[in-house]
Amino acid sequence: MTGPSDLGFWGFVRGLVFLFDAESVHHFFAKKLRFLGSNAFGRWCLRRISGTNLAKARHPVNIGTLTFRNPIGLAAGFDKEGTMILALPHLGFGYVEVGTVTPRPQPGNAKPRLFRDADRFSLFNRMGFNSPGAEEVAKNVTQARASGCLPEDFRIGINLGKNKTTSAEDAPADYGLAVRPFDGLADYLVVNVSSPNTPGLRELQTVESITKIVGAIRAEMTNWKAKPPIYLKLAPEVRGETLEHILAAEKNLGIDGWVLTNTLGGYWKGGKGGWSGGALGTLGRDCLERVRGRSRLPILSVGGILERREVETRLARGANLVQVYTGWIYFGPRWIAHLLKAFTGEKT
């Protein structure tokens, strides 16, 4: 269940940074990535650090009319504000899912709210959709796109959520508001009804609620020139009858694809939250297989990918693309280049 056996310099850096609070470390690296992504020398440094060769990191995948520069994306929750986008292609990623974005700014849950369980290569979080709000995130994405520094086949997805204080009844309106500023900015959209950290959110994983939410987003996009596909992100706990109902109604939901899956709900360090990484076991793969058995729509498979072989397995079992988060934290900046070797047949 490990990544590359030799972590090199990252093994040393990781030992140091893991001495500090996980969220503080995240913000520290977020600032660095934002700065390094903003200038040509910084981007060169990122390529050197990560072993990324921009030309070699191109393994295009088409989904409908969209071309993704390679099948490995950075999952939602790492770049919630869209401030690190310019750095990401230079770290090897083919696309990023920005967010979750809430319509209005909100601080998220009380800290500490992000923890490591290094024995299991896992993270446990109860962030609770800390977001500067949709307007602010849209400004950041606009800036990244306008910079002219993004490879033209690097894709940006926008993951949408609702504010904590919004009732289930008013949720569709919130998703509509959240998508409003993203006209011309999103390559794809994700309806996130699967975070365990917003009370009541997961109860929206019903045919009726999903249909209403997707309808509200589509209504908001009526006058958009380009209408991005809408994917639905589910929790790994959605199985059995609940999943059957959703799959049976697939054609009426109005969705264009799936993101499978979010974190696994649990209780640790004095509160509720969600497990990612090794703690997910095979849940992400199982969900992919179950949905692929019934659906022909594109699937972005995420959750518990800690090895290159697992990337190959997910794609072989019907995923169109994969996403990673926790594995990247544990295995470091050279890990994406290592995963990409799955597409060149290189052994190391």
Ligand X SMILES: Cc1cc2nc3c(=O)[nH]c(=O)nc-3n(C[C@H](O)[C@H](O)[C@H](O)COP(=O)(O)O)c2cc1C
What span, in angstroms and rounded, lies between the C-alpha atoms of 56 and 58? 5
Could you tell me how many residues of this chain bind ligand X (CB under 6 A)?
Answer: 27
What span, in angstroms and rounded, lies between the C-alpha atoms of 266 and 7? 30
Asked about 195 being catalytic, the answer comes back as: yes
| Contact status: 304 vs ligand X (CB under 6 A) | yes
What span, in angstroms and rounded, lies between the C-alpha atoms of 76 and 161? 11
| Contact status: 75 vs ligand X (CB under 6 A) | yes
Estimate the share of the chain in helix, then strand, then coil, as percent rounded to the nearest 5: 40, 20, 40
- Tokens describing residue 163: 């504010």
Residue of closest CB approach to ligand X = 77
What span, in angstroms and rounded, lies between the C-alpha atoms of 70 and 67? 9
Q: Which of 233, 285, 314, 334 binds ligand X (CB under 6 A)?
A: 233
What span, in angstroms and rounded, lies between the C-alpha atoms of 323 and 304? 10
Helical segments of the chain, H only: 9-17, 22-37, 40-50, 134-146, 171-179, 207-220, 240-248, 250-253, 283-292, 308-316, 326-331, 335-340
Q: Which of 181, 326, 330, 338 binds ligand X (CB under 6 A)?
A: 326
In one-letter notation, the amino acid at residue 24 is: S
Site for ligand X in 89-108 (CB under 6 A): 99-100
| Contact status: 72 vs ligand X (CB under 6 A) | no
Q: Which of 276, 301, 313, 320 binds ligand X (CB under 6 A)?
A: 276
Nearer to ligand X, 52 or 263 (CB): 263
- Tell me the closest approach of the beta carbon of residue 260 to ligand X, in angstroms: 9
Q: Which of 42, 128, 257, 303 binds ligand X (CB under 6 A)?
A: 303
Interacting stretch for ligand X, rule CB under 6 A, among 5-13, 36-44, 307-315, 321-329? Answer: 321-329
What span, in angstroms and rounded, lies between the C-alpha atoms of 121 and 139? 34
Nearer to ligand X, 42 or 236 (CB): 236
What span, in angstroms and rounded, lies between the C-alpha atoms of 129 and 151? 29
Nearer to ligand X, 43 or 97 (CB): 97
Interacting stretch for ligand X, rule CB under 6 A, among 28-36, 170-178, 224-232, 320-328? Answer: 320-328
- Tell me the closest approach of the beta carbon of residue 145 to ligand X, in angstroms: 21
Residue written as token pair 């052994």 = 347
| Contact status: 123 vs ligand X (CB under 6 A) | yes
- Tokens describing residue 346: 């290189």
Q: Which residues bind ligand X (CB under 6 A)?
A: 75-77, 80, 99-100, 114, 123, 125, 127, 159, 192, 195, 233, 262-263, 276-277, 280, 302-305, 324-327
Q: Which residues are annotated as catalytic? A: 195
